[in-house]
């Protein structure tokens, strides 16, 4: 009997031990990756307030994270986006750049990272190697992006790493001399004088506001200076220098963009540029064309703006004989150029969603999709090699009521069109693979957040309403469209 009790106790303790081990293992498995909560917060913010392609990203560790309350004001002329997270090393940045940097295609990256790597025991050569990995990932996705490396500062708390920091800085400065698109900003002298202790927080590691203010004019001047002096090398030249510097291997795959595009923009008053002082220079299609040339490396872009105020998908149906004929006339000008990719950029739905007023409104989600399909089928038939890019309509205020009535009912209906666009594009994946693409999806949330600064303030039957972008908003919308078109033609 006693022996049986001992066996039972032994079995019990064995089971208890197994339970403890399993619990400990589950806790380890359940641990989040480093900085996951901060990265998730950046991802959420990017959905609710999408960064505009072509912005300046401040990337790195706590230098930028702790600057957060004022960074966007301090560097406002460069469209800053803060993507710093405290304690980060360069491998940490590389691990998450697919999530918080690359999808937004920054024009510039102001990079401050590496100090934590050195303090963690990495030698300068290893840190440089990891930085080259960052450059390779960035430039594989966006070969024209510029990187401004902010030198590793001498913090009082890390005095013992001074020599490693100097060696790291020297190697990056040398690398910058070999590459177009990498620039070195020397901030070391700014906080390395007799008053150094007064320029850092009590931890002796992070800049206080006075220290930050010493950096602001130097970083600003560097960005402005390289902006003025910038020459635009060809992508082939950039690639060769990056191979020579060890960023790419000679056999590496580089996504060179299409070299020549012709674009026909189909839309309503937003596409047309309603309310802007100069539609010829400020309408969204003009800014989309500029983005494709300047930020996407596409040599030649020609376009035709076929936006018509108040028009719906019904008005663009071939059978109505209202707008489709002019679209065909515009496209026919381009169709005989075999060296150019013909693209139709299409954004319709705002007027379809109205409660009353525009032709056919309110258009049901099913009819909206059917109308888009008729338009798409007609274009694909007339121009077999073309590409179609369907952008989601952008937000308007629930007070919108001019000659037509939209209000909250219209805004709700507008959002039911989004899954119809998605389904339409999916339906073409087998019949016309690679030709029909989803365009911009971020404009809706962007304008929902920035309507006070990026929309015209208009007066209607329910007070002030927001429907048409102003000059700033039109430029932003053009960039969103330009980036979506770039992706569509290069996938």
Domain ranges of the chain: 36-244, 260-490
What is the CATH number that goes with domain 36-244?
A: 3.40.50.1110
- H or E element in which residue 265 lies: strand 260-267
pTM: predicted TM-score of the whole model, two decimal places:
0.89
pLDDT 10s digits, 366-398: 999 999 999 999 999 999 999 999 999 999 999
Q: What's the DSSP call for residue 158?
A: G
- What's the pLDDT at 19? 46
Whether residue 19 contacts residue 70, with contact meaning beta carbons closer than 8 Å, is answered with no
Domain 260-490 falls under CATH 3.40.50.1110: yes
pLDDT number for residue 452: 98
For residue 404, the 8-state DSSP code is S
Angle at 482 between CA 479 and CA 488, to 5 degrees: 145
What are residue 80's DSSP bridge partners?
Answer: 56
- pLDDT score, position 236: 83
∠ CA 201-206-210, nearest 5°, is: 60
Residues 380 and 386: beta-carbon distance below 8 Å: yes
Joined tokens for residue 55: 């912005």
Residues in contact with 19: Cβ distance below 8 Å, sequence separation at least 6, in sequence order: none
| Cβ 274 vs Cβ 284: under 8 Å | no
Give every strand in the sheet of 260-267, ordered side by side.
Answer: 300-307, 260-267, 341-346, 387-390, 436-438
pLDDT confidence of residue 231 = 65
Taking a C-beta distance cutoff of 8 angstroms, is the pair 59, 148 a contact? no
Strands 260-267 and 341-346: parallel
CA angle 79, 468, 461 (to 5 degrees): 135
Give CA torsion, residues 58, 285, 293, 302, to 10 deg.
Answer: 170
DSSP SS3 for 418: helix
Dist. CA 218–CA 222, nearest whole Å: 6
pLDDT at 234: 79
Q: Which residue has the tokens 């919308």?
A: 477
What are the structure tokens assigned to 143, written together? 């070969």
pLDDT for the residue numbered 397: 98
* CA dist 50 → 83, 190, 239 (Å): 13, 34, 30
- Name the residue with tokens 């071939």: 318
Distance (Å, whole) CA 208 – CA 204: 10
Strand pairing report for 146-150 and 182-185: parallel
- The pLDDT score that the predictor gives to residue 237 is 85
Q: Report pLDDT digits (tens) over 413-455.
A: 999 999 999 999 999 999 999 999 999 999 999 999 999 999 9
Q: For the chain, list residues with pLDDT below 70.
A: 1-32, 229-232, 251-258
Q: Measured between alpha carbons, how far apart are the two ends of the chain, in Å?
A: 76
What is the pLDDT at residue 24? 41
Q: Is 114 left (phi over 0), alpha (psi -120 to 50) or beta?
A: left
Distance in angstroms (rounded) separating the CA atoms of residues 357 and 350: 12
Q: What is the DSSP letter of 198?
A: G
* Whole-number pLDDT of residue 336: 83
User: Which residues on adjacent β-strands are paired with residue 307?
Assistant: 267
Using DSSP, state whether 84 is helix, strand or coil: strand
CA distance 258 to 185: 33
């Amino acid at each position: 009997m006693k022996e049986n009790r001992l066996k039972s106790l032994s079995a019990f303790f064995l089971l208890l031990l197994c339970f403890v081990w399993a619990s400990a293992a589950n806790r380890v498995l359940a641990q989040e990756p480093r900085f996951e909560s901060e990265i998730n917060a950046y991802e959420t913010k990017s959905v609710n307030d999408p960064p505009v392609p072509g912005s300046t990203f401040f990337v790195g560790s706590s230098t930028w994270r702790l600057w957060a309350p004022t960074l966007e004001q301090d560097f406002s002329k460069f469209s800053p986006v803060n993507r710093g997270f405290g304690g980060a090393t360069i491998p940490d940045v590389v691990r998450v750049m697919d999530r918080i940097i690359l999808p937004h295609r920054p024009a510039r990256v102001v990079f401050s990272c590496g100090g934590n790597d050195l303090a963690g025991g990495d030698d300068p050569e290893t840190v440089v190697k990891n930085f080259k990995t960052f450059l390779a990932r960035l430039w594989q996705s966006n070969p024209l992006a510029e990187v401004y490396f902010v030198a590793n500062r001498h913090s009082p708390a890390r005095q013992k790493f001074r020599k490693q920091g100097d060696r790291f800085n020297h190697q990056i400065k040398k690398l910058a001399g070999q590459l177009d698109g990498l620039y070195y900003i020397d901030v070391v002298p700014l906080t390395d004088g007799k008053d150094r202790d007064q320029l850092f927080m009590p931890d002796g590691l992070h800049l206080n506001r006075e220290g930050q203010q010493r950096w602001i004019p130097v970083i600003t001047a560097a960005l402005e200076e390289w902006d003025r002096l910038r020459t635009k090398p060809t992508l082939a030249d950039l690639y060769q220098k990056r191979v020579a510097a060890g960023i790419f291997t000679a056999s590496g795959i580089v996504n060179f963009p299409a070299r020549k595009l012709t674009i026909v923009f189909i839309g309503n008053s937003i596409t047309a540029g309603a309310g802007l002082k100069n539609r010829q220079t400020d309408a969204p299609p003009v800014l989309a064309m500029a983005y494709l040339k300047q930020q996407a490396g596409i040599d030649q872009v020609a376009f035709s703006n076929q936006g018509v105020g108040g028009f719906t998908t019904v008005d663009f149906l071939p059978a109505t004989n209202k707008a489709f004929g002019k679209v065909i006339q515009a496209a026919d000008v381009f169709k005989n150029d075999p060296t150019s990719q013909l693209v139709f950029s299409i954004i319709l739905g705002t007027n379809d969603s109205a409660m009353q007023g525009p032709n056919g409104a309110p258009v049901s989600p099913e009819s909206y999709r059917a109308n888009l399909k008729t338009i798409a089928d007609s274009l694909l038939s007339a121009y077999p090699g073309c590409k179609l890019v369907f952008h989601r309509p952008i937000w308007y205020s629930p007070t919108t009521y001019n000659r037509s009535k939209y209000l909250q009912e219209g805004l709700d209906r507008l959002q039911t069109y989004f899954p119809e666009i998605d389904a339409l594009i999916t339906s073409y994946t087998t019949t016309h693979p690679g030709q029909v693409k989803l365009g911009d999806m971020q404009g809706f949330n962007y304008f929902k957040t920035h309507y006070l600064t990026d929309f015209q303030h208009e007066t209607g039957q329910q007070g002030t309403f927001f429907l048409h972008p102003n000059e700033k908003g039109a430029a932003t919308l053009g960039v969103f469209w330009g980036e979506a078109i770039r992706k569509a033609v290069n996938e």
